Structure 1
Amino acid sequence: MFRLAVGQAPAELDDLDDRLDWLRTALVQATKQGADLLLLPELFGCGYNIGDALRSRAEPLNGRTFDAVSALSKDFGLAIHYGFAELCDGTLFNATACTSPKGRLLSHQRKLAIPPGFEQSYFTPGHGCSVFELGGLRMATLICYDAEFPETVRHVASLGAQLVLVPTALGNGWPSVARKMMPTRAFENGVYLAYANWAGTQNGMTFLGESVLATPDGQDGVQAGSEADILVAEIDTRRVEAAQRRLPYLIDRENLNLSDGG
C-alpha cells in the first residue's frame, strides 16, 4: 500500500536553510509513518509571496534546491515533491520537481495557467502534462490554479493518473477551493487528489492552510487545519478502480452528443 505525506509548511520561514531544516523534521515524522512520498507546497524552494525576490531566488532545475532535496531523499529513502521558481534560458517558470528515494529526478512540471495577480508579472505559462510512476502508483502534477480547471484534472486522469499532486499557495480568502472544489475534482474523475498548502503569513499574505487528501469515491479524506502540519494517509488503487467502474465518467464522456441537433 502506497503511503503519501502532505507537508503543510510554515510560510514565515523566509530562508531556504530554514525551510530545509523544517523539511528534515517533517521527513523524520513522515518516515516514521511509512511514507513513500512527501508533497510540499507551491514554490517551497523560494517562498511564494516574495515579490522581486523571485528573480534572485530563481534557479535551474538542477540548482541548489534540487541538490539539497535530492540529498534528503537519499538520506531518508523517500520521494520528495517540491515547488520552486525555475530560471531557464532567461525565462521564469513556476515549477515543480520530484526526486526519487535514490535522489534522481522523477518528474518536472511547469504551471500551465498563471492566475490574476502578482504571478503574471513574473512567470511564463508552461505547457503539457505527464504521468510518472512510483511504487506502482501513477501520478501527475498540477500546480495550484491549474487544478481549478475541470479540464486539467480530467486530462491527467484520462492519461492514467491515479493520484493528482497539487502544490498550492492558497490564501485564506478562498476556503471553498480546498473544502469543496478539490474534493469535487477527485470525485468527478475517480482519483485521489493531494493538495499541499502553506500555513501562516508571509509578507502580509495569510494562507488558508487546510491541505487535503481527497478520495476517489467521495468519502471523507484527510484535511489539515490552519497550522503547519504533516498529513499521512494510504493511497489504495483499488478504490480508484472501484470508483471509476461505479461512475465511468472518463468513458461515458466520449459518448456525449453536445450538438444542438441543427
Structure 2
Amino acid sequence: MAARMFPVADRHQGKVYVITGGAEGIGRACAERFAQEGAHVMIADINPKGADVADSIGAAFQLTDMAEPEQVRALAAATVERFGRIDIWHNNAFTAVFKPIHEQTLDEFNAITGVGIRGYWMGAKVAVEQMRLQGSKGVIVNTASVQSFVGEKGFSAYQATKGAVLAMTRSLALDHAPDIRAVAIAPGLIETEAVKAIPQDVMDEVIAGIPAARAAQPEEVAAVAAFIASDEADYMSGTAIILDGAYLAIG
C-alpha cells in the first residue's frame, strides 16, 4: 500500500523533538513528520541506519541502546548540547521475541523489558528532569499498543511492556501536571518493515480480523503523534489514543 499523505502544519516550529527507535517504521515516519512541521529532531536508535534517516531530513542522530541507562542520559545530554533544550520526548523503541512463555528465556525477557519498560522509564525521567530545569512545558509521548489492552498467544513479555507503558503514562501525567503532559499512542497493525516480511497468507488472516480491512501506514501514526504533542492537544494527558481500525471495538 502506498504511503498516505496528510496535511502538514508548522505546529512544532522551533521545538526540540527526541524520537527513540527512529531508524525505521513508526519512528522514522514520526521523525520525518516533526521535521516537516519545523521541529529540531534528534533520532536515537541502536540501528546505525538512523544516521542516514537523520541526514535525509536535516536531523541529528545518536546511536543509543535504550536498555542502557547511561546511554539514555547521554542521549538527553547530546540533545541539549545540540539544540539547547528538550520539548517533546517520544519513547518508541522496542525489541520483541514472540513465542510461548515456556519457550522464552530469562535473557530474552530481560532484553524486551530492558528497552520497553526500563528504557521508557529512563527516557521519561531524563526528559522530565530537563523540562523542569528549563522551567517550560513539555510532552512525553509513549508508543503503547492495542496489546496494552488485549492478550495474544506468545506475546507475554512484549505485552508486559505495553501494559506497563500505559500505566506509566497515567502516572507521568499526574506527577507533573499541568506543565508536562504524557500521552500514549496505541497502534494496531502497522505496515512496518517487519510486518511486510510476514507471509501473505498470514497477513490475509490477520487483516480479516480488522474491521478497517487493512494495516495502517506509519505516516498515520506520525500524524497522530504530531497532533497530541502540539498545543492543540494541551488538555490531553494521561490517556492513550487508539489507532487500530476498530480492532478493539470487536470486543
TM range (shorter): 0.3 to 0.5
Higher strand share: 1
TM-score using structure 2 length: 0.37
TM-score using structure 1 length: 0.36
